[in-house]
Amino acid sequence: MNLETLVFYLFGAITLLAGLRVITARNPVHAAMFLVLAFCSSAGIWLLLEAEFLAVTLILVYVGAVMVLFLFVVMMLDINLDQLREGFWRWFPFGAALALIMVAEMVWVLGSRTTADTVGAVQHAANYSNTKELGRLLYTDYVYPFELAAVLLLVAMVAAIALTLRRRIGVKSQDIAKQVQVKKADRLRIITDESERKTDAQSGS
Amino acid sequence: MNLATDLIHAGAEIFLLVMVSIILIADLFVTGRSKMFTYLLVQLTLLGCALITVSTHEPGVAVTAFNGMFVDDLMADVLKLLSYLAVSALLIYSRGYLLARGLFSGEFMVLTLFALLGMMVMISACNFVTLYIGLELLALSLYALVALQRDSAVATEAAMKYFVLGALASGLLLYGMSMLYGATGTLDIYKMSVAIELGVNNKALLVFGLVFIVAGLAFKLGVVPFHMWVPDVYHGAPTAMTMLISTAPKLAAFAFTMRILADGLQPLMIHWSGMLVILAMLSIALGNVAAIAQTNLKRMFAYSTIAHMGFLLLGVLSGGIEGYGSAMFYAVVYVLMSMGGFGMILLLSREGFEADKLSDFKGLNQRSPWLAFMMLLLMFAMAGVPPTVGFYAKFAVLEAVVQTGHIPLAIFAVMFSLIGAFFYLRIVKLMYFDTPESHEPINMQPDTALLISINSIAVLLLGILPGTLMSVCAVSVQQSLLLH
């Protein structure tokens, strides 16, 4: 067993264990952290396959952005997992039996035969740029689905705003335009009190 | 092929996307509740799309563009034109209903157009990547549309169920696609078909992937045993959204099934036709029997959809030009009938009142004889009574089934259609022989009144003269099959 295989199995084992802990951890924050670990070790596997760009993107986008937002939400919500898990053990035998049947079927179908010829991971020269190659493909062969993926994001944005924006009356909010247009007279009221007027009159006379 | 010609072939999609963006911005400046300007702009956009689709059509040849990501053939153009028509009719039908509920917003129209874009992408996709992105574009827009009525707990629950089960189905589909990719090394459906014919190393992997693909498709079509979401979503969503889910997307779903099963996985037909037999039989049986127990019309239509989708699968599994052609014909006819059925519910509903219970149709003949007659035509068509088009559609499918030698299957389908005729004809009985429960006047807009008349009379006329539509379906299917 060479070093590469060893590293692969190490990362694979970490990914699997972390994935398992995501669904078994009692504390949702811990579960989210295990998901981060799973992402990191998958990024390691991708690095091993010479897909550096994807590995870096996985860390930046998923760990850096998505999971942080996810953690915010998890921390802000007061989720009682024990309440959510009520009835879990009642349905467990049924679910476990179904899962076992599925696994047995999969092993039966796939396990006994060899899969397609495997010659190991593709090896590239040292000056091969993964990023350049991906960029070239995305903007040539895959330009149509690439643009459509952008449309998908636009739909998500429109849908999120349509579903969450509501105009309630009596909500305190800032109207920047009104703030900018404010005049001195709107904010400032000049009061002259009695004694001052007297002194004014005296000094004037 | 260079980019310029590619862009021309995808002209309708590009035009639609540009117009959606314009409408999205323009709508912000439209004041007032009726949104007449946005509405007219949307209708003009649909007209523009239709003109572009017709003018970029190249008779007799199927063109692929964007490195085989996109295909422009007769089937794509016919289905796209019908989708524009369906969405346009949907907007006319649902305007009054949505205005009364304060839902006729710019977002509704924009999301509907995005859903249409998703359907168009699905209809002319010939690569698994584009197929999947089109499907997600359609599905995301529909989830949001169902949830648009936020004050209604039922609608939110329906949206939630639709979203979770839809995501599960997408997962199954993706898993299947990855298996097929692993076995053949390509995502292009025509190349995949060639690769399978040449022989692959691991046929078990291929069939394994196929199982997931069929399960995902069955989820999206809503056939038994993957039908659980259909009744709840149809019932819970606002009727206009239910109408949207049950009409144009079925055309896209047909194209999707055709491109994957008939074009890409044709060499595996022995495997998938067996699976479809089970799905179709279960759907026809459960759909027709469960619909009898419903007192809510939307729920009843949901079960009727399940049965109709079973019939559509019967056409697909028969294979050949007759089989696929009859399935396409069935999809078109189903959209027409479903449009009319939901249109009638929208028409009879008014502010604060949903005409979605069977009892709301009691004595409709005394309240409005013309509407009652239109509903009679629609119900006869759904039940498959001649001379309406519903009969011819079922007949064409059954003919294809018998030709392939599945005679017991055809008998089974006929038996359950007879059982199903009960609940359609019960509505006719309620309309003509019962006394009305309310005497509220039916206030129809002239455009919706005209549309429902055209819709129902089309059901009758197409039944008498089905030849043209049938041959269009047969030719488009034939052309799409010739590609590989």
Is residue A115 predicted with pLDDT exceeding 60? Answer: no
Q: Does the distance separating the beta carbons of A117 and B114 come in below 8 Å?
A: no
Q: Which chain A residues are within 8 Å of B10, Cβ to Cβ?
A: 144
Q: What dihedral do alpha carbons B95, B99, B100, B101 form, nearest 10°?
A: 110
Residue of A nearest to B18 (CA): A151
Q: Which chain A residues are within 8 Å of B136, Cβ to Cβ?
A: 152
Q: Which pLDDT belongs to residue A120?
A: 62
Domain limits, CATH 1.20.120.1200, in chain A = 1-84
Q: How far is B149 from chain A (nearest CA, A)?
A: 9
Q: Which pLDDT belongs to residue A113?
A: 57
Q: Do the beta carbons of residue B466 and residue B391 sit within 8 Å?
A: no
Shortest CB distance from A110 goes to which of B111, B141, B205?
A: B205
Q: Which residue has the higher pLDDT, B301 or A23?
A: B301
**What percent of chain A stands above pLDDT 70?**
90
**What percent of chain A stands above pLDDT 90?**
39
Q: Which pLDDT belongs to residue B5?
A: 86
Closest by Cα among A133, A143, A153 to A61 = A153
Q: Which residue has the higher pLDDT, A202 or B106?
A: B106
Q: How far is B197 from chain A (nearest CA, A)?
A: 16
Q: How far is A115 from chain B (nearest CA, A)?
A: 6
Q: Which pLDDT belongs to residue B483?
A: 61
Q: How confident is the model at residue A118 (pLDDT cuts 50, 70, 90)?
A: low
Model confidence pLDDT, tens digit, residues A144-196: 999 999 999 999 999 999 998 877 777 787 888 888 888 888 888 888 777 77
Q: Which pLDDT belongs to residue A190?
A: 82
Q: Which pLDDT belongs to residue B26?
A: 92
Is residue A4 predicted with pLDDT exceeding 70? Answer: yes
Q: Does the distance separating the beta carbons of B201 and A115 come in below 8 Å?
A: yes
Q: Which residue has the tokens 């997307």?
A: B249
A1-84 maps to which CATH number? Answer: 1.20.120.1200
Q: Does the distance separating the beta carbons of B208 and A109 come in below 8 Å?
A: yes
Shortest CB distance from A152 goes to which of B65, B137, B207?
A: B137
Rounded to whole angstroms, the Cα distance separating B456 from B483 reads: 36
CB-based contacts of B56, cutoff 8 Å, min separation 6: B8, B9, B11, B12, B72
Q: How confident is the model at residue A119 (pLDDT cuts 50, 70, 90)?
A: low
Q: How far is A185 from chain B (nearest CA, A)?
A: 31
Give the residues of chain B that fall short of pLDDT 50: none
Q: Do the beta carbons of residue B115 and residue B145 sit within 8 Å?
A: yes
Number of domains in chain B: 1
Is residue A117 predicted with pLDDT exceeding 70? Answer: no
Q: Mutation test of the interface with chain B: which of A148, A157, A164, choosing the one with the most B Cβ atoms within 10 A?
A: A148
Q: Does the distance separating the beta carbons of A116 and B183 come in below 8 Å?
A: yes
Q: Which chain B residues are within 8 Å of A165, Cβ to Cβ?
A: none
| Amino acid type, B48 | G
Q: Which residue has the higher pLDDT, A194 or A201?
A: A194
Q: Which residue has the higher pLDDT, B401 or A75?
A: B401
Q: Which chain A residues are within 8 Å of B130, Cβ to Cβ?
A: 144-145, 148
Residue of B nearest to A114 (CA): B202
Q: Does the distance separating the beta carbons of A142 and B129 come in below 8 Å?
A: yes
Q: Do the beta carbons of residue B269 and residue B324 sit within 8 Å?
A: no
Check residue A61 and report its DSSP letter: I
Is residue A85 predicted with pLDDT exceeding 90? Answer: no
Rounded to whole angstroms, the Cα distance separating B138 from A47 reads: 34
Rounded to whole angstroms, the Cα distance separating B305 from B220 reads: 12
Q: How far is A165 from chain B (nearest CA, A)?
A: 11
Q: Which residue has the higher pLDDT, A174 or A121?
A: A174
Q: Does the distance separating the beta carbons of A152 and B133 come in below 8 Å?
A: yes
Q: Do the beta carbons of residue B281 and residue B409 sit within 8 Å?
A: yes
Shortest CB distance from B66 goes to which of A109, A143, A166?
A: A143
The Cα angle at residue B365 between residues B361 and B369, in degrees rounded to 5: 125
Q: Which pLDDT belongs to residue B350?
A: 84
User: Helix, strand, coil % (nearest 5) of chain B?
Assistant: 80, 5, 20
CB atoms within 10 A of CB A172: 4
Residue of B nearest to A116 (CA): B201
Q: How far is A159 from chain B (nearest CA, A)?
A: 6
Shortest CB distance from B121 goes to which of A113, A116, A148?
A: A148
Q: Mutation test of the interface with chain B: which of A109, A140, A142, A158, choosing the one with the most B Cβ atoms within 10 A?
A: A158
Q: Which pLDDT belongs to residue A1?
A: 66
Rounded to whole angstroms, the Cα distance separating B423 from B167 reads: 33
Q: Which pLDDT belongs to residue B442?
A: 82
Q: Which domain holds residue B96?
A: 3-482
Q: Does the distance separating the beta carbons of A149 and B144 come in below 8 Å?
A: no
Q: Which pLDDT belongs to residue B150?
A: 86
CB-based contacts of B222, cutoff 8 Å, min separation 6: B229, B230, B305, B306, B309
